[in-house]
Amino acid sequence: MAWIEMITEEDAVGELQEAYEKLLEPWGGVDNIMKIHSLNLPSLWAHFELYKVVMYGRSRIRRPQREMIAVVVSAANQRHY
């Protein structure tokens, strides 16, 4: 549970609902890390753009290595991301 107030998928309307529909994960929901931006839609899109650059942008670190780093960090933080 987040300590930051956030709007759930069920309560989202308008632009936020549309944003959530674009961000749906394969498991059918939106990650909490994105939902914490629900009160500030520009910050949600800025976070998403940062994510895309970090994971898909040009780098000397290959994509599989980036995924491995993400898994290790998630495990160290006891998160499922």
Using the predicted structure, report yes or no on whether residue 63 has a pLDDT greater than 90.
yes
Residue 41 lies in a domain: yes
Question: What does the pLDDT look like over 20-54, one tens digit per residue?
Answer: 999 988 778 898 889 999 999 999 999 999 999 99
Instruction: Tell me how many domains the chain contains.
Output: 1
pLDDT computed for residue 29 by the predictor: 86
User: Is 63 in contact with 56 (CB distance < 8 Å)?
Assistant: yes
Evaluate if pTM is beyond 0.85.
no
Q: What average pLDDT does this structure show over 42-69?
A: 95
The residue range of the domain holding 48 is 14-76
Using the predicted structure, report yes or no on whether residue 4 has a pLDDT greater than 90.
no
Residue 81 lies in a domain: no
Q: Rounded to 5 degrees, what are φ and ψ at 52? A: -60, -40
Residue 5 lies in a domain: no
- Confidence band (pLDDT; 50, 70, 90) for 81? low
Residue 1 lies in a domain: no
